[in-house]
Structure 1
Amino acid sequence: MKQALRDRRPTWFAITRRNLLRGALATTLAASVLTACDEDDKVTHWYGSWSAAPQDYNEPFPAPPPPSFFDNQTIRQVLRTSIGGDQVRVRFSNLFGTSPLKIDGARIALSAGSSSIKPASDTELRFNGNASATIPAGGELWSDAAKLEVGAGEDLAVSLFLATETALSTMHALGLQTHYVVAGNALSTETLSGAETRSSYYFISGVDVRSSAKANVVVAFGDSITDGAGTTPDTHRRWPDYLSRRLQSDGSAVSVLNAGIGGGRILTDAIGPSGVNRFERDVLGQTGVTHVIFLLGINDIGLSAFVPEQEVSVEQMTAGTQSLIDKAKAKGIKVLLGTLLPWKGANPGGAPYYSEAGEAKRQSFNAWIRANKTVDGVIDFDQALRDPADPLALLPAYDSGDLLHPNDKGAEAMANAVDIRLLAVQP
């Protein structure tokens, strides 16, 4: 974690120590599913293939250490698709910016590993036909469609040039992926030699692909466990990644989007807006969304050890969750609820987190999930990851070391607990 200070990605447990929890902007700019006919009169659709839930770089953190801006620099960010298509578009985000974001150029290409791209695939991204764009504070903007054939599970490199001083604002902290920053306009440079490395995502929040195949889009909506804390960086071993690969191996045309934010809660703004404040944007606003897997609540329980005045009841948690279920169902989106994982002794960073009172809340919340008749399915992550010798605790083989976050094997076990028949495209 040598880049932790440089890329402003504090550890999850350090962040939760800070009692600087303020509200965050929750602007919803939903992208609709577009249907068109191409030159062969073939019906095509747009589907979300990658996402990173937007967060505010400056909230709830104190003033960031330098450098807190980009200036005459190219940022090359690497991401992995879930499903493929013959065209792509990228969503650029200034959601938490307090001034306009000027994009002076952007390109997309197939990644060749590390900072390198495959030159033959290098493709310009344009905005309403223009090579540059200005996104107002609080806004998001899709690029125009770009012709680029991409496969399922393929690594893409999105290169962004910021010619003038640009304050860091909208980002996704726990990127778990190495990105590259160099001076000047290096958008089409094959390899960014001597680049500075970062591991958070900046100013991008989604990639859509166009396909003639019918597909489903599943949004994994959660906290640090969904975001991948405890898994190995640069290996795509978050549980939604494993689920995406399971679906690909099964031949299913199903995209899995990760909408996890480390430290996130159902009801209270923490790191990024709360679940009830971001659900419409991060779930309902995803292109082609058909399903959501909901796994939030452990931080609503555990964070009361740090901020007792923000303690919530199980009744408040269930009411907040049910309000989101109802919103999804009203849009025709299928909902799968995940039970909260075992956490006995959880001590992220050596901080108190687990308690007997908190465990009683987890048990009550999980009982409500298992009995919920308004959803389309329940994924019993609790049962799948518990230690048979101590059912309140994570199985040691699945523990990343803090008794809270699953490691790579645990993330894979979570993905294996999902009945993928519930996600299948219906004929």
Structure 2
Amino acid sequence: MTSWLDCLLRPALAAFASLAILCSPATAQPRVDAPRWTASWAAAPQGLPQPPAVNGPQPAPPPSFYAQTVRERVYPTISGEQARVRFSNRFGSAPLHIAEASIALGTGGSALSPASLQPLLFGGRREITIAPGADAWSDAVPAEVRAGQAMVISFYLDERTPFGTLHRMPAGATWVAPGNMVGDATMPAAAPLDWNHIVTGLDVMSRGPVRVVVAFGDSITEGVNAFGPVLGRYPDRLAERLRDASPGAPVVSVLNAGIAGNRLLSEVVGPSGLDRFARDVLAQSGVTHAIVLLGINDIGFETFVGGPGSAGPLTRSVSAQRLIAGLQRVVDMARARGVKVLLGTLLPVKGSGYWSEQNEDIRQAVNRWVRDQHAAIVVVDFDAALRDPRDPQALNPVYDSGDHLHPGDAGNAAMAAAIPSRELLQ
């Protein structure tokens, strides 16, 4: 039975509830200075087994870990006082059990600063089991993260763990040692690995205007044959350049989502670009921009792998029209999420196993289309920046790593310089 008091109060309570919904944090616009998670480092993962490689010999990893500590060095591109780490079992075939994990400042090689050592917890627990196909973030932890300064992440795998989710890293970035050494400052018995395992992201808590730029591509983005140090790849050079931006400019994080051998349209090395763009780019915390440079493997694989005496092409014939349609899909996906796209022209490849007159025609057609998009998106003309003035179908020898396909150290610097920084600060 409804009382007279209920009848009087019901309209007022309804009005108050409506006002509360309008003012609730779930619907209110976030403040610019509100703390939020922002990606500071990330890697684009892939799985085993590896197919035949076209970018040189691939490391042959052992089949599994067992009762071992893995320690990985990463280089954040923006600073923060709190951090969280993403552990991935995206390509695993069995549950992944992490018995213990930690984060600390790196002091060279596999060593860390004991004073900075912090345990990583998962829902308040020191261990976690991650299902196949899933990712898991650690809890927030106080950590002195500084842009360009190495952080080391250690985790102990007490159960037999088949290699599943990994990414190739520059030499001297990953180590494995027997036993639980998560809390040890040094790892005397550590052996180097050529792969980054399981760790795919480092976020920091940030305030104020921040831009998160994801460089999306293949081995040219990943940094194959970049003869400089670990920080010599073009996304690393770009991050360094943007740290020197004018005072008051937004902070810019630059992530490297390159996979050597990756293709836009087909799955050969890692998922296809079309398949992984949403996960490796759009799912990064706070993403605002994407630099897209992908497609040369689609053109070159068939010539390189499917030439005389080979087992034949790995996929169906690739046309400029199909590549253009694929790139347009990537642009459309980014726009739907409010992410600004910087689309790169494909670099010259004459002199490499990728080159043929037919392949050059396809590359030129794709590049013409990219340049024609300047009214709608930002075009980065990597081709014009790195080609040989005397032979525009080839890399400038100054920028060539020697294989006529991948830029060397100077070429990576030239690629970073070709990107209009003003477009990343808007």
TM-score range, shorter chain: 0.7 to 0.9
Shift of 1:199: 2.4
Tell me the distance in 1 between the aligned counterparts of 2:374 and 2:175: 47
The answer to whether the Cα contact below 8 Å between 1:36 and 1:45 also exists between their aligned partners in 2 is no
Structure 1 segment 24-423 matched on structure 2, within 5 A:
43-60=34-51, 67-232=62-227, 234-251=229-246, 252=249, 253-305=251-303, 306-307=305-306, 308=313, 309-346=315-352, 352-373=353-374, 375-423=376-424
Task: Please state whether the residue corresponding to 2:411 is helix, strand or coil.
Answer: helix
Task: Please state whether the residue corresponding to 2:364 is helix, strand or coil.
Answer: helix
The answer to whether the Cα contact below 8 Å between 2:76 and 2:147 also exists between their aligned partners in 1 is yes
Shift of 1:236: 1.1
The answer to whether the Cα contact below 8 Å between 2:102 and 2:155 also exists between their aligned partners in 1 is yes
Tell me the distance in 1 between the aligned counterparts of 2:37 and 2:375: 29
Match of 1:18 in 2: none
% same residue:
47
Alignment-mate amino acid for residue 51 of structure 2: P
The answer to whether the Cα contact below 8 Å between 2:104 and 2:116 also exists between their aligned partners in 1 is yes
How has the CA–CA distance of structure 1 residues 281 and 66 changed in structure 2, closer, same or farther, with 3 Å as cutoff?
A: closer
Q: CA RMSD in A?
A: 1.8
How has the CA–CA distance of structure 1 residues 265 and 414 changed in structure 2, closer, same or farther, with 3 Å as cutoff?
A: same
How has the CA–CA distance of structure 1 residues 65 and 397 changed in structure 2, closer, same or farther, with 3 Å as cutoff?
A: closer
Shift of 1:203: 0.5
Shift of 1:178: 2.7
Tell me the distance in 2 between the aligned counterparts of 1:208 and 1:238: 21
Tell me the distance in 2 between the aligned counterparts of 1:322 and 1:259: 19
- Using the size of structure 2 for normalisation, the TM-score is 0.86
Task: Please state whether the residue corresponding to 1:404 is helix, strand or coil.
Answer: coil
Match of 1:15 in 2: none
Task: Please state whether the residue corresponding to 1:141 is helix, strand or coil.
Answer: strand
Tell me the distance in 2 between the aligned counterparts of 1:179 and 1:333: 32
The answer to whether the Cα contact below 8 Å between 2:84 and 2:139 also exists between their aligned partners in 1 is yes
Structure 1 segment 3-14 matched on structure 2, within 5 A:
none
The answer to whether the Cα contact below 8 Å between 1:283 and 1:289 also exists between their aligned partners in 2 is yes
Tell me the distance in 1 between the aligned counterparts of 2:92 and 2:205: 29
Task: Please state whether the residue corresponding to 1:397 is helix, strand or coil.
Answer: coil
Runs of at least 5 residues in structure 1 that lack an aligned partner in the other structure: 1-34, 347-351
Moved more, 94-103 or 175-184: 175-184
Runs of at least 5 residues in structure 2 that lack an aligned partner in the other structure: 1-28, 54-58, 307-312
Tell me the distance in 1 between the aligned counterparts of 2:60 and 2:260: 21
The answer to whether the Cα contact below 8 Å between 1:178 and 1:234 also exists between their aligned partners in 2 is no
Shift of 1:177: 4.1
Alignment-mate amino acid for residue 277 of structure 2: F
Tell me the distance in 1 between the aligned counterparts of 2:134 and 2:228: 30
Task: Please state whether the residue corresponding to 1:236 is helix, strand or coil.
Answer: helix
Tell me the distance in 2 between the aligned counterparts of 1:325 and 1:370: 14
Task: Please state whether the residue corresponding to 2:129 is helix, strand or coil.
Answer: strand
Tell me the distance in 2 between the aligned counterparts of 1:54 and 1:61: 18
Match of 1:10 in 2: none
Shift of 1:67: 2.8
